[in-house]
Chain A
Amino acid sequence: MASIGVQDRIVFQNVSKFYGEVLGINRVNLSIPAGITSLVGPNGSGKTTLLNLMTGLLQPSQGSISVLGISPTEPGQLFRRAGYCSQFDSFPRRLTGYQFIYGFLRIHGFGHPKADELTWQSLRQVKLEEAARRKVAGYSKGMRQRVKLAQAIAHQPDILILDEPLNGLDPLARAEMISLFQQLASSGLHVVISSHILHEVDLISDQVVLLDSGYVVAEGAIRGVRDEVKEHPAQILVRCDRPSQVAARLFQEDHIVEASLHEDQRGLLIRTRDSNRFYACLNRVVLEDQVQIETVAPADEDVESVYQYLIGQNGGAA
Chain B
Amino acid sequence: MAVYKRKFSPYQGERTPPWSRWLIIPRYAYAKVFASRITTAFFVACFVWPLICAAVIYIRYNVSFLETFGLQLGDFKGVLAINARFFLNFLYIQGFLSFLLTILVGPGLVSADLSHNALPLYLCRPFSRTEYILGKMLVLLILLSAITWAPGLLLIGLQTSLAGLGWLSEHPLVAPALLVGSAIWIVTLSLLSLAISAWVRWKPVAAAALFGVFFILPGMGQIINVTLEVDFGDIFNIIMVFFTIWAWLFQVSFRGDLTLVEAWLALSGFCGLCLLILNRKLQAYEVVS
In the complex where A19-B289, A99-B28 touch, is A76 in contact with B18 (Cβ < 8 A)? yes
Q: Are B7 and A22 in contact (CB under 8 A)?
A: no
Q: In the complex, A171 Cα to B122 Cα: how many Å?
A: 30
Q: Are A107 and B125 in contact (CB under 8 A)?
A: yes
- A111's partner among B16, B28, B123, B124 (CB-CB below 8 A) is B16
Does A230 sit at the interface, judged by CB under 8 A?
no
Residues on B with beta carbons closer than 8 Å to the beta carbon of A186: 2, 4, 7
Does B228 sit at the interface, judged by CB under 8 A?
no
- A84's partner among B120, B127, B287 (CB-CB below 8 A) is B120
CB distance from A116 to the nearest CB of B (A): 13
Does A104 sit at the interface, judged by CB under 8 A?
yes
Residues on B with beta carbons closer than 8 Å to the beta carbon of A158: 10
Q: In the complex, A88 Cα to B120 Cα: how many Å?
A: 10
In the complex where A84-B120, A84-B124 touch, is A106 in contact with B21 (Cβ < 8 A)? yes
Q: In the complex, A75 Cα to B132 Cα: how many Å?
A: 14
Residues on A with beta carbons closer than 8 Å to the beta carbon of B21: 106-109
Interface size bucket, B side? 35 or more
Q: Are A52 and B285 in contact (CB under 8 A)?
A: yes
Q: Are A108 and B126 in contact (CB under 8 A)?
A: yes
In the complex where A35-B2, A76-B18, A89-B117 touch, is A58 in contact with B122 (Cβ < 8 A)? no
Q: Are B16 and A109 in contact (CB under 8 A)?
A: yes
Q: Is the interface of B mostly helix, strand, loop or mixed?
A: loop
- B124's partner among A35, A55, A88 (CB-CB below 8 A) is A55
Residues on A with beta carbons closer than 8 Å to the beta carbon of B79: none
Does A244 sit at the interface, judged by CB under 8 A?
no
Q: In the complex, A55 Cα to B119 Cα: how many Å?
A: 14
Residues on B with beta carbons closer than 8 Å to the beta carbon of A306: none
Does B24 sit at the interface, judged by CB under 8 A?
yes
Does B257 sit at the interface, judged by CB under 8 A?
no
Q: Are A90 and B117 in contact (CB under 8 A)?
A: yes
Residues on B with beta carbons closer than 8 Å to the beta carbon of A29: none
Does B121 sit at the interface, judged by CB under 8 A?
yes
- A92's partner among B6, B16, B112 (CB-CB below 8 A) is B112
Q: Are B32 and A93 in contact (CB under 8 A)?
A: yes
Q: Are A114 and B13 in contact (CB under 8 A)?
A: yes
In the complex where A76-B18, A79-B126 touch, is A107 in contact with B24 (Cβ < 8 A)? yes
Q: Are B24 and A110 in contact (CB under 8 A)?
A: no
- B15's partner among A34, A81, A110, A189 (CB-CB below 8 A) is A110
A interface footprint on B254-272 (CB within 8 Å = 1, 0 otherwise): 0000000000000000000
Q: In the complex, A106 Cα to B16 Cα: how many Å?
A: 8
In the complex where A79-B126, A91-B116 touch, is A187 in contact with B8 (Cβ < 8 A)? yes
Residue total for A at the interface (Cβ-Cβ under 8 A): 52
Q: Are A94 and B35 in contact (CB under 8 A)?
A: yes
Q: Are A104 and B121 in contact (CB under 8 A)?
A: yes
Binds B, one of A149-157, A259-267, A274-282, A294-302: A149-157
CB distance from B20 to the nearest CB of A (A): 9
Interface residues of A in 18-63 (CB under 8 A from B): 19-20, 22, 24, 33-35, 52, 55, 57-58
Does A207 sit at the interface, judged by CB under 8 A?
yes
Q: In the complex, A298 Cα to B129 Cα: how many Å?
A: 50
Q: Are A188 and B6 in contact (CB under 8 A)?
A: yes
Residues on A with beta carbons closer than 8 Å to the beta carbon of B113: 92
- A188's partner among B5, B124, B285 (CB-CB below 8 A) is B5
Interface residues of B in 70-86 (CB under 8 A from A): none
Q: In the complex, A79 Cα to B5 Cα: how many Å?
A: 22
Residues on A with beta carbons closer than 8 Å to the beta carbon of B117: 86, 88-90
Q: Are A57 and B8 in contact (CB under 8 A)?
A: no
Q: Are B121 and A187 in contact (CB under 8 A)?
A: no
Q: Are B126 and A93 in contact (CB under 8 A)?
A: no
CB distance from B111 to the nearest CB of A (A): 10
CB distance from B118 to the nearest CB of A (A): 5
A interface footprint on B15-38 (CB within 8 Å = 1, 0 otherwise): 111100110110110011001000
Most buried by B among A22, A33, A34: A34
Q: In the complex, A108 Cα to B20 Cα: how many Å?
A: 11
CB distance from B124 to the nearest CB of A (A): 4
Known pairs A35-B2, A103-B27, A106-B21 / 6 extra A-B pairs, C-beta < 8 Å: A22-B289, A95-B28, A107-B21, A109-B21, A186-B2, A187-B6
Report 13 cross-chain contacts, Cβ distance below 8 Å, ordered by A residue: A35-B4, A57-B285, A58-B285, A94-B31, A103-B28, A107-B127, A109-B21, A110-B15, A157-B10, A188-B5, A188-B6, A207-B1, A221-B1
Chain A residues packing against B (C-beta within 8 Å): 19-20, 22, 24, 33-35, 52, 55, 57-58, 75-77, 79-82, 84, 86, 88-95, 99, 103-104, 106-111, 114, 118, 151, 155-158, 185-189, 206-207, 221
Chain B residues packing against A (C-beta within 8 Å): 1-2, 4-8, 10-11, 13-18, 21-22, 24-25, 27-28, 31-32, 35, 112-113, 116-128, 284-285, 287, 289
